[in-house]
Amino acid sequence: MGKTALVLAGGGSRGSYELGVWQALREMDIGIDIVTGTSIGAINGSLITQGDYETAVALWDKIETSHVFDVQIDEQQNVRQKVVQTYRTFVRNFIKHGGTGSNPLKETLSSYFDEEKIRSSPIDYGVVTMEMDSRKPHELYKNEMPKGKMIDYILASASIYPAIKPYLIDGIRYIDGAYYDNLPVKMALARGATNIIAVDLEAFGVVKKEELRLARQVKLIRSYWDLGPTLVFDRMTIRRNIRLGYLDTLKAYGAYDGHAYTFICGFAKKLTQDFSKKAEEAGILLHNTTDKNSMLDKMFWGRITKFLVERGVTETNTSNIALVCAEVAGETFGLSSEKIYSQDIWLKRLKKEVDAVQIPDKLKGSTDNKQGILDTLRDTTTLFNKRVRTKYAALVIKEILKTQDTQKLLTNVTIMPDAFFGGAYLVLQNLV
């Protein structure tokens, strides 16, 4: 079996996503032998090593920006306002004091941190930090940290200079480990890990992706969705991120289907079967429907492949195309990423949102006008929102399919892949 390591990236408030990952791993009874982390990953890792899940939940439930940094912030503001206020404080404090203090974080963490539990835990634990002046990295396991100073090395790992002041330990200034390795897989491998569960928050910092290939088995867990600002701790964003981390981990282990969204098992298989049959009948979005040697076809499949890669899908096949079409439609029409969907519920909610979108008068009646369709579509990319573009694209696809003008369809998909992926799904599912 080998050893299993949980590797936790840094990313400030995005670290709430890692709590959701831990929640799912606990429910699936997946044992962890090693935890390595950087910055917020080091903080979360300490609680995981302690085995104190409820303590971690309590911490993330109560934490606010003022509990982490020496800033005064109005928690009643929206996220955008909080970001502006917080970053202005960072700039002002850097100019005046060389950075913002993190004493509140030490006080907050001290209430939840238990060094003795960590040292006696069967789980090995390590953090990454860096000396500011010499740029010397430090990859420290729990047995290498002097007694009574473990919390200091964890806080040093989370001192993201220049926003935060360097952390002083024995006269040496330390800064955030993200400057050296924000996803410390190497530390886990050095401790004998063969199975890696790596949680990438896609935040600031160095990620040494080549090290992921050295492990025997790797599960890389990351969110399709933006996890929000890293240095502002907003309650609603935190709760959303916990949910996304939980769902993404369950999907990574096959408990649910989906990439951006979460579907009950069997959704993807049925979607692929239905989509494949209907797409073949309609003559769209399948390899065997076009002349693969034509320049247009090469452009078409090149654009589709690029669009799939942008959404985290590396293999171009019918199953992935079908799923991306469904998820693009869901994203366009604002379906929640925090729900678990059956096919019936998914289609019902999507239909409701699609029906609510009104096509502007200037576009009505133009879908069957061969001349000028592309010009009209180009206009919609700037004049109207994505929902209008996608619904209109669906109507265009329906008209094109009546004439079997595949060349025009390929051109349209190449120009506006997001609208036509979503639009194709609406057509093939009879939602328009």
Active site residue 61: no
| Sole residue written with tokens 């964890």 | 154
Active site residue 176: yes
Length in residues, the chain: 432
Q: Which of 13, 16, 33, 39 is catalytic?
A: 39
Q: Which of 124, 176, 181, 418 is catalytic?
A: 176
Question: 77: exposed, middle or buried (C-beta count within 10 Å: 0-12, 13-18, 19+)?
Answer: middle
* Rounded distance between C-alpha atoms, residue 333 and residue 111, angstroms: 43
Phi (first) and psi of residue 171, to 5 degrees: 80, 0
State the distance between the two ends of the chain, measured CA to CA, in whole angstroms: 51
| Full 3-state SS string of 270-319 | HHHHHHHHHHHHHCCCCHHHCCCCCHHHHHHHHHHHHHHHHCCCCCCCHH
Do 49 and 120 meet the contact criterion of CB atoms below 8 Å apart?
no
Question: Chain centroid to CA 186: how far?
Answer: 22
Do 114 and 131 meet the contact criterion of CB atoms below 8 Å apart?
no
Is the bond preceding 146 in cis, omega lying within 30 degrees of 0?
no
Q: Annotated catalytic sites, by residue?
A: 39, 176
